[in-house]
Structure 1
Amino acid sequence: MSSTSDIDSLIELMARLPGLGPRSARRAVLHLIRKRGQLLTPLAGAMQQVAATARECLNCGNVGTSDICDICDSEKRATGELCIVEDVADLWAMERSQVFRGRYHVLGGTLSALDAVGPEELRIPRLLDRVVTEGITEVILALNATVDGMTTAHYIADQLGERVRITSLAQGVPIGGELDYLDDGTISAAMRARKAL
């Protein structure tokens, strides 16, 4: 067995991360090894801690370290506004922009006939329950501007009917764009210019 098998395994695992290929993973691992005390050891400890404590919020689907995330638990966030996003990365992008102070609902994907993803595979039934039980007055559909995202937005709007005001992000979000890749200014402009569906 090679004396570098552990290092090769680490490189292989790092290469599986989004945005890292084999070459980038090799560079990252080499840097971590060179900075073992400052980076590698603390990173390994932090990863172990997150692996042991991370969980999905039972209410909205966000990721945190308790059953109910800090956003859902905050009384200051009980504004009657519920922002619907596709995944946690989109929620984090919205939070990074600091333009929304309500609560979120993470669907866990979008409707897709090709991939056999229907409403039951997503958190749409839970969303409908939350609208009633939490006294929601506005649902903001902050879904990616893709065909599946728009299909999902229209499905949710149909399901909610006239119960609440339904808005969606407007200017600034390009067709085919994804929230996680947008800058804070673009997200801010889109949030301010949201419109009824």
Structure 2
Amino acid sequence: MSLLRFTSRALFSSWFIAEGARNAVSPHAAAERLDPTIRKIVGSAKSFLPAEIAERIPEQTTTWVRITGAVQVLSGLGYAFGVARRPNAAVLAAMSALRLPSEATGVFRHRDDDAARTGLTTATAMFGAALLAAQDTEGKPGLVWRARFGVHNAAGRVQDATHQAVGSVQDAAQNAVDTVQQIAS
């Protein structure tokens, strides 16, 4: 990993780590903002999960803010140090997406509030950057490209082998015809 990539990952992750640590330690401010979003998600999850699992899901918003804060810290550290960086970046994107509805609501409620607009802009930018980071392959081909290339390469080899086999069969057939003609004459 290059120094530039390491530094960039550390800088990018620092926002998630700091935000996650703040939410894990003191969840009340974020819980107020995220309460409508978390209630909808928890309600939806409980409606389709089996009853024995649904009853174990916490309903308190502060608990969820602490959980997501801890997840943000762990994923941010993992991404910063290059450990499972694409899955960790995807988790960071999910954590950013969780904030978007509440930040957008804040902007619509307080249209003249610069802090609300800054919060929405930051959440949107971090969401986009995390999505991009989740797709980053460090200039190396991803698994999908490798699979497609492998299939294309294998198909080419099969076609070459088929042409060689057909050519060998044609040569053998011609030799057999020539031998039969020599014997007959």
TM (normalized to structure 2)? 0.22
Give the number of the structure whose residues are more often helix, by fraction.
2
Give the number of the structure whose residues are more often strand, by fraction.
1
Report which of the two structures shows the higher radius of gyration computed on alpha carbons.
2
